[in-house]
Structure 1
């Protein structure tokens, strides 16, 4: 009976510590430094350009043409895979960075 009570107390303490830990991590949001408005605006414009409609159309055309060249044997499979992987990295960059930040914050 004492072991069960000890296990429950340990679990409750772990829950409280985990809740406090996530609250502290959420409080560490990064704010833009004062005076960085034009720089932040330029970077957001660049992000919109790289991930917007034009970039999506270019990526679709690139993957389609590289895929056709790979199927007809006119291009090396390794180069074709590199182009396709590059498109995945370009459009998945936000998710990749979020994963790296969550891993760095958890460690």
Structure 2
């Protein structure tokens, strides 16, 4: 019996080839010249979005959402969406680090 690859196995093999090529491309140019200004600008944006003001706003949002859920003014699905969104925003650095570790194939 001859086995023919279906679309799922074909897609997985193409994904593996693309990941290998992307890993090779990343190792070739990790930090291109002239990117210092962009890196510092992104660092400033990250500090602004995850700083004291953003933390205070997230605490107020979670508190207001919890109060609204407690009184029945906000349904549980919308409340869970707000709280999950806060986790994603503040855990974004850890999430990306985990994805990069998984993509590179190296352990912790």
Q: Are residues 56 and 81 of structure 1, via their aligned partners in 2, closer, same or farther at CA, if it must alter by over 3 Å?
A: same
Q: Deviations over 1:49-74 (max 9, x none)?
A: 11111110000000000000000000
2:33: which partner in 1? 34
RCO (CA 8 Å, sep 6+): is it higher in 1 or 2?
2
Which stretch shows the higher mean deviation, 33-42 or 94-103? 33-42
1:73: which partner in 2? 72
TM-score, normalization: structure 1? 0.69
Aligned residues: 80
Q: Structure 1 regions of 5+ residues with no counterpart?
A: 1-27
> Which is greater in Rg?
1
Q: Are residues 91 and 67 of structure 1, via their aligned partners in 2, closer, same or farther at CA, if it must alter by over 3 Å?
A: same
Offset at residue 36 of structure 1 (A):
1.7
2:62: which partner in 1? 63
Q: Structure 2 regions of 5+ residues with no counterpart?
A: 1-26
Root-mean-square deviation (CA, aligned residues, Å) is 1.8
* Greater helix content: 1
Q: Deviations over 1:8-28 (max 9, x none)?
A: xxxxxxxxxxxxxxxxxxxx5
Question: Within 2, Cα distance between the matches of 1:51 and 1:73?
Answer: 30
2:104: which partner in 1? 105
TM-score, normalization: structure 2? 0.68
